[in-house]
Amino acid sequence: MSSLSQTKTLGGVGSILTLLGIVPYAGTALVIVGWVLVLLAIRNISAAVRDRSIFNNAMIAAILAIIGAAVGGVVVGLNVFRLVNLSNIASATNTSISTSNMVGVIMGILAGLAIVWVLAVISSFFL
């Protein structure tokens, strides 16, 4: 177990790395490394105060955030591909996209974003 000053540094570096998600090519890896460092810092703090629930709640928050991002990404991605496919079909047949198809795609994208939002709120509650 490291000292709390080392844990503070570990958590600080991890927090800074999580903000670097906008860096091209390496942003996702930096965010993942940052979250791992933050979780290690939380584990050290949990061990220092002898309260396992701190780390357990942080792990639940991380898992919910990962699930929310994955499910939301898949739902939004599938609806974007559906929109691209509809526009390709419409341009190939010289027709327009029906309103019901467009509403379905937009509602699918909004549903994916709602999934991300709900799981992010639940995740932040645990964090």
Return per-residue pLDDT of the chain as tens, 127 residues.
568 889 999 999 999 998 988 888 888 889 889 999 999 999 999 999 999 999 999 999 999 989 998 998 899 888 888 877 776 666 666 666 677 777 888 888 899 899 999 999 999 999 8
Q: Which helix (H) or strand (E) holds 63?
A: helix 52-92
Closest CA to 69 of 17, 19, 3, 123: 123
The CB-side HSE value for 34 (13 A sphere, CA atoms) comes to 16
Closest CA to 65 of 31, 94, 24: 31
- Whole-prediction pTM: 0.77
